[in-house]
Structure 1
Amino acid sequence: MTSPHPPLRSYGRLKSRTIKPRQAALMDTLLPAIRAPLEPFEPRALMPGAAEVWLEIGFGGGEHLAAQAAKRPDVLFIGAEPFQNGVASALRHIDEAELKNVRVHDGDARDLLARLPDASLERVFILFPDPWPKARHHKRRLLQADTAAELARVLKVGGRLRFASDWADYVDWSLERLIATPGLSWTADRASDWRTPPADHVTTRYEEKRLGDCAPAFLDFVRT
C-alpha cells in the first residue's frame, strides 16, 4: 500500500533562474531519450554489455557525472537530480561530450532507488548534498537510516559508496548512520583517508566555492 505521507523533500527549490535556450531545447529533446525508466527496471538493460553500473545522487550541474562518464565509457552512469537548472546543465555536458553511457532521473533519488533491484550497482556517489544545517531541518537530510539501508540493498557485494561534504555536522551525522547500516563497512584506516580527495575524485566548481564550514571530507564505504 502506498503511504499517504510521502517522505520529506531532501532538496530545496526545483528551479531558480530561467534556463538558457540551448539547455531548454535539450530538456525537450535529449532528456526524454536518456531519462531513466519510471517503473522498476534492470539497469544493465539500458546499456547491454556495460561493465558496471554507477549512480550519482544529486549531481548538481553534472560536472562530476559527465567527467566520470567520459573516463569510463564502458560503465553505465545513472544520475539523479531534482533541480531543473542542474539537469539542464548536465544535459549540456552530456551533449557536448557526446556521451552515450548516461541516463538521467530528474526527480527524487529515493524514487529511483525504490525501482532498482537488489545488488544492481557497483558504485554510488553522494557528493556535497544539501546540508540542511539548522537542527529543525535535519529530518530533511538525504542521509537517513532508511536511505542508507536502501543504498546497501542496491549495492553489490564489493560495491562502493562515497559520501562527501564540507559541513562538519553533516559529515558526523552521515558517518554515524552509515556505520550503523548492516552490510556497509567504512574503508578508512587513518585521518588522511577521509581528509584527502580520492585519486579518482573530480573536483567541481561548486566544491571549489567552499560554502561549508570545514574542509571537504570523503567517506568511502564498501558493501560487505
Structure 2
Amino acid sequence: MAIQISPSILSADFARLADEVEAVAGAADWLHVDVMDNHFVPNLTLGLPVVESLLKVAPLPLDCHLMIEDPDRWAPAYAEVGAQSVTIHAEAAKAPVRTLRAIRAAGARAGLALNPATPVDGYADLLGEIDMLLVMTVEPGFGGQKFLDLVLPKIRRARELIRNADASVWLQVDGGVSAETIERCAEAGADVFVAGSAVYGEKDPAAAVEHLRALAERATAR
C-alpha cells in the first residue's frame, strides 16, 4: 500500500499561491484543491477558473475535491480542463454513477466522498465505479478543524469493503490530518492523506510532507 500525501492549498497563502505550490512540489504526490460553493458547505473558496490557472503552473497533479451542490452538472468540467482527480460528495450527487463515469470518460480519476455521518456500507456497490473513496474526518467546509476519532471505525470498514471487493481503490482521508493523527489513519487502512495546516502551517512545507509520509509508512509497516 503506497502512501501518498496531498497538501491542501486551502491552508496556503492565496496571495502567493504559485510559490506555495512550488514549496511542496518535490515532496508531495498531489495538490489537493478544495472547491466550495457556500451552499453545500458554509464556505466559499475557488472554482474552475482558478483550477485552470493552477493547471498551467502546478508541477503536481491536481486532486479536486468538490464540496458543491449539483456536482452532476459541474464535476465533468474539472476533468475536462485537466484535473487528474475529481471527487464528488455522495450527499450532493443525484446521479452518482453517471457523474463518476463522466469524470472517468474525461480522463480523470473519479472519487466519491462521504461526510463523517454517512455510512460507507450503502456505497459498497459503487466501488467498481470509483478510483478513490474519500472518508471525511471532519465536517467539510473549513480547514484547521480537530480530527474526529469517531470516523476511524468507518475507515477500517471502508478498507475491508475495498479488500473484499478486490477493488483497486485508493482510500483517502481529509480533515485534521497531522503528525498526531496520521498514524491512526494509516493503521485503519487509509493510504492517501490530505493535510492542510499540518503542511502549510510549518516553516518548511516540504519537510512536513516527508515527516507525515514517514509516520504513515511506519504505521503501515507494523
- Greater helix proportion: 2
TM-score normalised by length of structure 1 = 0.33
Q: TM-score by structure 2 length? A: 0.33
